[in-house]
Amino acid sequence: MIAAAQMGPIARTQGRPAVVHRMIDLMRQAKALGAQVVAYPEAALTAFFPHWFTEDEDEVDAWFERDMPGPQTQPLFDEARRLGLGFHLGYCELDVSAGQKRRFNTSILVDASGRIIGKYRKIHLPGHAEHRAESPFQNLEKRYFEVGDLGFGAWQAWGGVAGMIICNDRRWPESYRVLGLQGAEMIFCGYNTPVHHPGAPEHDRLGQFHNELCMQSGAYQNSAWVIGVAKAGLEEGVDMIAGSCIIAPTGELVARCSSNGDEVIVARCDLDLGRSYRETTFNFARHRRTEHYHMIVERTGATPP
């Protein structure tokens, strides 16, 4: 049984202890519903600060975690261990090594003993790096984060193979395919997605449709369960879509949040369901025709798949 723990808005002033308290409450609900693992959203520990511009380095660093677990996140790990529950967590990572400071939009998988078993750093960073003062809100991920340098990894977890993508990654078929090629059976994806697209308001009415469209096709085409988890609701003036959901390898949406706030949903994720697709319709070894993809690339000069 897998749980998705959607989170409602986090105020700019809400500190980590209060957020972790909310997360522990969600974790207990997940356990009570019979979950073996609970998944939290992208950048789950804070408000989604890339919506605001600042040049103050200390202010930026304050949104990041230097250690995981650190003193303020340790209670989450302790409670997971006490409950015997694994979890998926999105957070903003400040990596200081060899005197160099780097910032990533990161997620981890933690097993029931509290051990970090997998780490992913977001690859598809949306938005822009320059200040757009005229915009009602911004997406400054290209300013505050580096492109992830760990690739799309897959790990043995919860009786199968688990992988991670983060928010905008879910719109790109190659994110799922690189995981599918490694046999991923469960793909965790946290997101912070505004209802309004300042650059293309004509897309706004389709936000929820596109959210489901990309995750459902990613699940089906790669024979994997996809667990999509939102940070939702009106956060510091930015309205964000909800609709956290658990999607089967059939492409069917089997559980979906109904609120814009903190909410837990669960689904019994039968990994044999993925196997049946992986061995038939999407048997990559038998049916993929990669040599033809390369012929097209050579003829057209397109980017290789």
Stretch that binds ligand CDV, among 24-32, 96-104, 153-161, 189-197 (CB under 6 A): 189-197
Q: Rounded to the nearest 5°, which phi and psi values hold at 117?
A: -105, -15
101 is catalytic: no
Stretch that binds ligand CDV, among 12-20, 70-78, 164-172, 242-250 (CB under 6 A): 164-172
230 contacts ligand CDV (rule: CB under 6 A): no
139 contacts ligand CDV (rule: CB under 6 A): yes
171 contacts ligand CDV (rule: CB under 6 A): yes
> CA-CA distance, 129 to 50, in Å (whole number)?
10
222 contacts ligand CDV (rule: CB under 6 A): no
46 contacts ligand CDV (rule: CB under 6 A): no
With 0-12 / 13-18 / 19 or more C-beta atoms within 10 angstroms meaning exposed / middle / buried, residue 271 is middle
Which residues sit opposite 162 in a β-bridge? 155, 186
Q: Of 1 and 195, which CB lies nearer to ligand CDV in the complex structure? A: 195
Contact 232, 203 (CB under 8 A): no
106 contacts ligand CDV (rule: CB under 6 A): no
142 is catalytic: no
The one among 191, 220, 225, 282 contacting ligand CDV by CB under 6 A: 191
What contacts 283, CB < 8 A, 6 or more positions away? none
Helix extents (H) in 181-240: 207-221
The binding track of 49-68 with respect to ligand CDV, each residue x by CB under 6 A or -, is --------------------
167 is catalytic: yes
Strands (E), 115-235: 116-121, 154-157, 160-166, 186-191, 225-230, 233-235
List contacts with ligand CDV (CB under 6 A): 42, 126-127, 139, 167-168, 171, 191-193
